Amino acid sequence: MSPVAFAPAKINLFLHVGAPGADGFHPLCSLMAFADVGDRVVLHEADALSVRVHGPFAGMLAGEGDNLVLRAARALIARARGPQPLIGLSLEKLLPVAAGLGGGSSDAGAALRVLRTALGVQVDDVELEAIAASLGADGAACLWGRPVLAQGRGELLTPAPVLPTIEAVLVNPRVEVATPAVYKAFDAIGRFGDVEPPPLPPAFESVEELAAWLGMMRNDLEAPAVGLAPEIGDVLATLADERETLIARMSGSGATCFAICSSDIEADALAERVVAMRPGWWTVRCRLGGPWPES
């Protein structure tokens, strides 16, 4: 069986974003969890290092020759001793692209994990995290797929409080939203958030407690993203109107939104109804938390 690694969708349960610094980067504070749905990276023999993309969203990466998976592989293999291994990577793209799910960073993290194990590259966790962080703001958080509180540019990580079982529904209106465009709109609005970490309990005892606490938080990129893609507002309104939804929010810079429900039965019912009402949307039932098994 070929070595495989799971690349879970990243969900920003909240995302507070501050004013840009002199370097143009925005400080942030975000509680991140990971879904049990995502992409898959498989290692196989090849004549030269390459990435083969397939799956329902492969077309959204067409023409992207130097993607994050390939960059991650090159960075790790450069640290390996001996001859260049004859390997390739297959990326099964099951998550939409430019969707606020950290897909590229999670794919890169999966590639780093599977390559380190399969090739026996002598790189410790700290160095692997440094490679992941060099690939993007979500890189370090997405490497292990564990719930974390992220600060700085996203590279300063502390363990999240203990989370309850989170039954959720992910919905994307099949609209791509470019992160730079959202940040540009965010800067134009000029309502910058406080990025000091909010008081966090050591554990949330129930999903209802978590949802109530999240209701006091926000996603500062939601308003500018909705301004660029009103379909996101339609998704949020649809989810918020359903009785099963404890809280609905956008993840990352959009366009994917999530709804948290009190049970698997409630989440199943919500997902089925959204699919019936809006069959053109990408709607997926999932559980949030992590880390999840590799296959």
Report residue 167 as tokens.
Answer: 């039954």
Q: From the candidates 10, 93, 107, 220, which is the catalytic residue? A: 10
Q: Which helix (H) or strand (E) holds 165?
A: none
If phi over 0 gives left and psi between -120 and 50 gives alpha, with beta otherwise, what is residue 6?
A: beta
Please list, in sequence order, all residues whose beta carbon lies within 8 angstroms of the beta carbon of residue 216, skipping any fewer than 6 positions away: 198
List the one residue out of 158, 159, 152 whose CA is nearest residue 137: 152
Catalytic, 93? Answer no
Q: From the candidates 107, 138, 241, 264, which is the catalytic residue? A: 138
Rounded Cα distance between 30 and 28, Å, is 6
Burial 217-241 (b: 16+ CB within 10 A, else e): bebbbbbbbbebbebbbbbbebbee
Rounded Cα distance between 60 and 249, Å, is 24
Report residue 86 as tokens.
Answer: 């004859």
Answer for the pair 165, 211: CB distance below 8 angstroms, yes or no.
no
β-strands 87-92, 148-151 pairing = unpaired
142 burial level (CB within 10 Å; 0-12, 13-18, 19+): buried
Residues designated as active site: 10, 138
